[in-house]
């Protein structure tokens, strides 16, 4: 009985071990490709699964996440016969675990070789300068061609990037000299443009200054002329006002003599004196009316008699 019980216990343990080994849990973003008796049986997705013991097996565990393949630099020849080395980075994702398992023997080696040949075909149609300046175009063409070629393998190529483009050393030296010459040329052009703009601004400043000076001189001349004109007007008005006041004073004196009863001869003499003051000693000749000439002679006789 002891031996039979021991055998039963062993059998139970073995059965439990086999049952546990037949239980499979597929994690997220993975898939199991199952085979039964060596033939494809199905693809298990995320979750709990149970396989038949001894006859079922997991042929491949497939990662469904987007993956990155960084391939070493590949020698390529441009259209103008320049040999360079280019390394690429391929971003891909497995979309069909069955095709990935049974489509190609070594998928990564196949992708690497396919990437190298595709890159050589594309670069062979481009010259050196186009290769250096057309990365985006090359990336797009490679992604399209690789995606079509890898579709039967259950692989989708999402993106292809040229990581490094390494031209020969002599080409690099020539490019560096060319870049240096270009920078010096741009510096010279920038300096010349700056000097030109400075000269233009200086000339415009001098022009504006001359215009402002001319405007100022013009305004100053106008103000001086207006001031001179105002001065002459005021002087003329002052002289006219003085003459008017003198005449007014003599007129008042004659009026007072009239009111005092002075005869006509005295009034005419006073008029002559007024003419004398009007002349102010500046005139050498005074023209008198005919009727006043006799009075003037009479006045002269009276003055001489009074002096005696």
Domain assignment of residue 12, yes or no: no
Note whether 230 and 161 are same-domain residues. no
* Spatial CB neighbours of 241, under 8 Å, sequence gap ≥ 6: none
Closest CA to 115 of 143, 95, 135: 143
Domain assignment of residue 236, yes or no: yes
Say if residues 115 and 146 touch (Cβ distance below 8 Å).
Answer: yes
Note whether 156 and 246 are same-domain residues. no
Closest CA to 32 of 1, 59, 6, 54: 59
Domain assignment of residue 108, yes or no: yes
**In this predicted structure, what is the pLDDT of residue 67?**
93
* Spatial CB neighbours of 285, under 8 Å, sequence gap ≥ 6: none
Residue ranges of the alpha helices (H) in the chain? 2-22, 97-102, 107-123, 128-133, 135-150, 169-260, 264-279, 290-307
The region that residue 261 occupies, defined by phi over 0 for left and psi between -120 and 50 for alpha, beta otherwise, is left
Chain centroid to CA 83: how far?
Answer: 40
**CA angle, corner 152, sides to 147 and 153, nearest 5?**
85
Note whether 78 and 161 are same-domain residues. yes
Listed residues 148, 167, 186: the one ending a domain:
167
User: Which two structure tokens, joined as six digits, stand for 33?
Assistant: 């490709």
User: Which segments in the chain show pLDDT lower than 50?
Assistant: 281, 283, 286-288, 291-293, 295-296, 298-299, 301-308
**In this predicted structure, what is the pLDDT of residue 270?**
57
Note whether 44 and 106 are same-domain residues. no
How many CA atoms are closer than 13 Å to the CA of 65, on its beta-carbon side?
A: 7
Place of tokens 């070594």: 106
Q: How many Cβ atoms from other residues are within 10 Å of residue 114's Cβ?
A: 19
Domain assignment of residue 44, yes or no: yes
* Spatial CB neighbours of 189, under 8 Å, sequence gap ≥ 6: none
Note whether 158 and 72 are same-domain residues. yes
Phi–psi pair at 156, nearest 5 degrees: -115, 125
User: Which two structure tokens, joined as six digits, stand for 87?
Assistant: 């390394």
Residues counted in the chain = 308
Domain assignment of residue 41, yes or no: yes
DSSP letter string, 216-242: HHHHHHHHHHHHHHHHHHHHHHHHHHH
DSSP state of 187: H
Note whether 59 and 87 are same-domain residues. no
Give CA–CA dist 167/83, Å, rounded. Answer: 7
Give CA–CA dist 55/279, Å, rounded. Answer: 156
Give CA–CA dist 72/88, Å, rounded. Answer: 7
Listed residues 140, 167, 194: the one ending a domain:
167
Listed residues 42, 63, 84: the one ending a domain:
63
Give CA–CA dist 98/40, Å, rounded. Answer: 8
Note whether 71 and 160 are same-domain residues. yes
Tally of domains within the chain: 3
**In this predicted structure, what is the pLDDT of residue 306?**
45
Domain assignment of residue 279, yes or no: yes
Domain assignment of residue 7, yes or no: no
**In this predicted structure, what is the pLDDT of residue 263?**
54
**Which residue range forms the structural domain that includes residue 31?**
21-63
Say if residues 33 and 99 touch (Cβ distance below 8 Å).
Answer: no
Domain assignment of residue 96, yes or no: yes
Give the domain CATH number at 122.
3.30.479.30
User: Which two structure tokens, joined as six digits, stand for 146?
Assistant: 């690789």
């Amino acid at each position: 009985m002891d031996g039979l019980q021991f055998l039963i216990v062993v059998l139970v343990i073995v059965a439990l071990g086999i049952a546990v080994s037949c239980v499979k849990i597929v994690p997220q973003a993975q898939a199991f490709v199952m085979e039964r008796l060596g033939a494809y049986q199905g693809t298990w997705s995320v979750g709990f699964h149970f396989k038949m013991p001894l006859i079922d097996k997991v042929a491949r565990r497939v990662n469904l996440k987007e993956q990155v393949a960084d391939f070493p630099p590949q020698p390529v020849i441009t259209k103008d016969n320049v040999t360079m080395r280019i390394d690429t980075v391929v971003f891909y994702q497995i979309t069909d675990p069955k095709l990935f398992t049974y489509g190609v023997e070594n998928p990564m080696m196949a992708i690497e070789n396919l990437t190298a040949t595709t890159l050589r075909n594309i670069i062979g149609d481009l010259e050196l300068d186009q290769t250096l300046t057309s990365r985006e175009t090359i990336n797009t063409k490679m992604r399209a061609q690789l995606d079509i070629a890898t579709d039967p393998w259950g692989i989708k190529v999402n993106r292809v990037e040229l990581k490094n483009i390494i031209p020969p050393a002599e080409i690099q030296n020539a490019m560096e000299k060319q870049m240096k010459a270009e920078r010096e040329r741009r510096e010279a052009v920038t300096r010349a443009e700056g000097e030109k703009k400075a000269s233009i601004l200086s000339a415009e400043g001098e022009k504006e200054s001359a215009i402002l000076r001319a405007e100022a001189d013009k305004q100053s001349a106008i103000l001086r002329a207006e001031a001179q004109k105002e001065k002459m007007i005021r002087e003329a008005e002052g002289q006219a006002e003085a003459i008017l006041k003198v005449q007014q004073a003599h007129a008042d004196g004659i009026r007072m003599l009239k009111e005092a009863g002075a005869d006509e001869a005295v009034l005419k003499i006073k008029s002559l004196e007024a003419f004398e003051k009007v002349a102010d000693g500046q005139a050498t000749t005074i023209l008198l009316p005919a009727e006043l000439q006799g009075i003037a002679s009479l006045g002269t006789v009276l003055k001489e008699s009074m002096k005696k």
